[in-house]
Amino acid sequence: MSTTILDARTLFPEETYKSVRRTILDANPDMAEDMAGRIADEGIKFVVACAQNPGVGMAPSRIVDEGWHALLLHSAAYAKLCDQFGGMVHHYPGWDPTHYDPPILDRTRQMIEQAGFVVDEELWRPPTDDLLVSVAAKCQHAPSCTIRPMPKPEWP
């Protein structure tokens, strides 16, 4: 277990980080700016953990997936982040709220902590829990579509 506490915001130049946060706000106009920052942070942590742990099935919460989507739109910075920590983390979208699988989210949070981050537990709620914040992202990743770095998708 890593004892170093990493700060997700320092992994991007400040202007890039602000642009990622702005992308989240653009997709969610009623969201508070501090919430968008928290979502961006968790998205960064998620990507780093995935890049460091190829082959370990992980998935973001629906709220964190919003941050991941915003990161993907900053493709050059996203690719650099992935490369810095191990390899490209591809996104294969899918939406089915029945795909919610608590063990995957538990494992993902553990991998984020092992990467040296503190997890913002409040943003890792079940996909049906919109009490904290409602987001535009409509993905729910689970056993059949867990996230892992790979050269190409596994098509049925």
List of the chain residues with pLDDT < 50:
1-2, 142-156
* Inside any domain, residue 2: no
* Inside any domain, residue 1: no
* pLDDT score for 72: 95
Interval 94-119: pLDDT, tens: 666 666 678 888 999 999 999 999 99
Structure tokens that stand for 136 in this block? 């535009």
Say what the pTM is: 0.82
* Inside any domain, residue 150: no
Containing domain of residue 44, as a range? 8-145
